[in-house]
C-alpha cells in the first residue's frame, strides 16, 4: 500500500510504516500544486498531513481512500469534500494533550511572573528585582477552562496540583448531566452552566475548544465583557475560536494579561515575517504555535498514525474516523438468517434494487463452523410483504426474514 506523507514526520514513524510493508513516499514540503501533482503521480490511497491544507479540488487528483491528520483536529482538511467521495478522514486525538497542557501552564506562569521580561532585562544587563518581585501567585487563583476535552482535562490535573480551583464550561456537559457529574467527581472540578458565568468567576481563562462551525469566534466581545479586570487569558487552542480584535480591546481596556500560542493570522510557512498588533502590547506574551511540538508528542502522534494505517491496511477498518454518519437515513432493518452459501445476499440485493430501496449499512455475521450467517441490512424504506415473501421463497438457503422498524 502506498502512503504519501506531505508534512514533516518522525523517522520512527517512517521506519514503522516501511516495516509494515507500506511503500512510503515522503514529500514533507508538498503543498498546493505540488501536492496535487504528487497525488496524481503516486496514486497513493493514503495521505498523511499535519498543517498542509487538503482542499476539495485536491481530492480528485489521485486515488485517495484515507487521509490521516497526524495531530488533533482536522481543520486543515476539507472533510465535507472527502465525505462526498467516500474518503475516510482520521486523526490522532489526545496524543499531544500533555504537550499542549504543559505549554498552557508555562504561559500562565510566564504571565504571572513576567518571565520573558525578566530574561530580556537580564540579557540587557539590567538587575531589577524591585520590579519583578511583583506577582500574584497561582495558589488559590480560580482557573476557568472553556472546553474540556483531552487537553482541558490535562490542564485541570496540573492546575489542581498548583492548588488552583478549576471551573469548567463545556457544551457537552449541558447536553449530558451524567457526564457532568462524572467529570466533577473524577477531576475535582466545578462545572458551570454558561461560558459567561465562567468568565465572570475566573481569575484565569484558558481556551480549549476544537475549531468547528459552532466554535468559530466563540470567545467574542460579549463573552470578554464578563471577564474580571486584570484577569489572565490563555489560548493554546485555535486562533479562529477567538475574536482577536475584541481580545486586543479587552487587553487594552480591562487590563487583561494574555498568553497566546495561536493567532488570528499566522504565516503559512514555519519561518517568516509576522506582524500582529496584539503582540505589541506590553501585557501580551506569545509563542509560535508550538503547543504540540515536543519530541514526546510527535513520537506519540507518529505511533498513532502508524496504527491507523496498519489497521486500514490489514483489516480495511479505520480507527478515529471523524466523517462517518452518526445516523444514516435508514428507517428499517432487514434481518436475513441464511445458510452461508454463494448468491444468497446477491439474491436479496436484487429484490431490493427492483424495489428501489437503498442499502445504507450492512453486516454479515458468520456462525461457528461457517454453515450459517445472519445479515443485517439497513434500508431507507420498507420492502412490501409480497416482496419479502418472494425474496424468501425464491432462495432455499434463506432460513428466515425479519423486518425491523428503526424509526
The answer to whether 358 and 380 have CB atoms below 8 angstroms apart is: yes
> Residue 362 has what DSSP assignment?
E
Report the C-alpha gap between 287 and 289 in whole angstroms: 6
266 is catalytic: yes
Report the C-alpha gap between 92 and 73 in whole angstroms: 8
Furthest C-alpha separation in the chain: 94
Q: Which candidate in 266, 299, 307, 376 is catalytic?
A: 266
Report the C-alpha gap between 293 and 81 in whole angstroms: 29
C-alpha dist (Å) from residue 5 to 24, 38, 71, 87, 214: 7, 10, 13, 16, 30
- Closest of 248, 235, 239, 234 to residue 267, by C-alpha: 239
Burial, 33: exposed, middle or buried (Cβ in 10 Å; 0-12, 13-18, 19+)?
exposed
The helix or strand, by DSSP H or E, that contains position 82, with its residue range, turns out to be helix 79-84
Q: Which candidate in 257, 289, 310, 338 is catalytic?
A: 289
Report the C-alpha gap between 150 and 100 in whole angstroms: 10
Q: What is the 3-state secondary structure (H, E, C) of 109-121?
A: HHHHHCHHHHHHH
243: cell is 475574536
Is beta strand 2-5 parallel, antiparallel or unpaired with respect to 23-26? Answer: parallel
Q: Which candidate in 238, 257, 332, 338 is catalytic?
A: 238
Helix extents (H) in 85-137: 97-113, 115-123, 129-132
Residues present in the chain in total: 407
347 is catalytic: no
Question: Which residues are known catalytic residues?
Answer: 238, 266, 289
Amino acid at each position: 500500500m502506498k502512503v504519501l506523507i506531505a508534512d514533516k514526520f518522525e523517522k520512527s514513524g517512517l521506519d514503522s510504516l516501511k516495516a509494515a510493508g507500506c511503500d512510503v513516499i515522503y514529500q514533507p514540503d508538498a503543498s498546493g500544486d505540488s501536492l496535487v501533482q504528487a497525488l496524481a503521480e503516486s496514486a497513493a490511497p493514503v495521505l498523511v498531513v499535519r498543517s498542509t491544507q487538503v482542499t476539495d479540488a485536491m481530492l480528485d487528483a489521485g486515488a485517495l481512500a484515507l487521509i490521516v491528520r497526524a495531530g488533533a483536529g482536522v481543520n486543515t482538511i476539507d472533510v465535507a469534500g472527502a465525505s462526498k467521495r467516500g474518503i475516510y478522514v482520521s486523526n490522532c486525538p489526545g496524543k499531544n494533550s500533555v504537550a499542549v497542557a504543559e505549554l498552557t501552564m508555562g504561559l500562565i506562569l510566564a504571565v504571572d511572573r513576567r518571565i520573558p521580561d525578566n530574561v530580556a532585562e537580564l540579557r540587557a544587563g539590567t538587575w531589577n528585582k524591585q520590579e519583578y518581585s511583583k506577582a500574584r501567585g497561582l495558589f488559590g487563583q480560580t482557573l476557568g477552562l472553556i472546553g474540556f476535552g483531552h487537553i482541558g482535562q490535562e490542564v485541570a490535573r496540573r492546575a489542581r496540583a498548583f492548588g488552583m480551583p478549576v471551573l469548567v464550561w463545556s457544551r457537552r456537559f449541558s447536553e449530558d448531566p451524567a457526564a457532568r457529574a462524572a467529570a466533577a467527581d473524577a477531576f475535582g472540578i466545578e462545572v458551570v452552566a454558561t461560558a459567561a458565568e465562567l468568565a465572570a468567576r475566573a481569575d484565569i481563562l484558558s481556551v480549549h475548544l476544537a475549531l468547528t462551525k459552532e466554535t468559530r469566534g466563540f470567545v467574542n466581545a460579549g463573552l470578554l465583557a464578563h471577564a474580571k479586570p486584570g484577569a489572565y487569558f490563555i489560548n493554546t487552542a485555535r486562533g479562529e475560536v477567538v475574536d482577536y480584535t475584541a481580545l486586543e480591546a479587552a487587553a487594552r481596556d480591562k487590563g487583561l494579561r494574555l498568553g497566546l500560542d495561536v493567532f488570528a493570522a499566522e504565516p503559512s510557512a514555519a519561518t517568516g515575517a509576522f506582524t500582529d498588533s496584539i503582540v505589541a502590547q506590553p501585557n501580551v506574551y506569545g509563542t509560535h504555535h508550538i503547543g504540540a511540538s515536543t519530541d514526546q508528542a510527535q513520537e506519540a502522534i507518529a505511533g498513532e498514525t502508524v496504527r491507523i494505517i496498519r489497521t486500514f491496511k490489514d483489516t480495511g477498518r479505520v480507527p478515529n474516523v471523524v466523517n462517518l454518519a452518526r445516523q444514516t437515513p435508514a428507517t428499517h432493518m432487514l434481518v436475513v438468517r441464511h445458510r452461508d452459501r454463494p448468491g444468497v445476499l446477491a439474491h436479496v440485493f436484487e429484490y431490493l434494487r427492483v424495489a428501489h430501496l437503498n442499502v445504507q449499512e450492512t453486516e454479515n455475521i458468520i456462525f461457528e463452523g461457517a454453515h450459517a450467517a445472519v445479515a443485517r441490512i439497513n434500508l431507507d424504506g420498507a420492502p412490501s410483504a409480497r416482496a419479502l415473501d418472494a425474496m424468501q421463497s425464491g432462495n432455499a438457503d434463506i432460513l428466515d426474514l425479519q423486518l425491523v422498524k428503526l424509526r
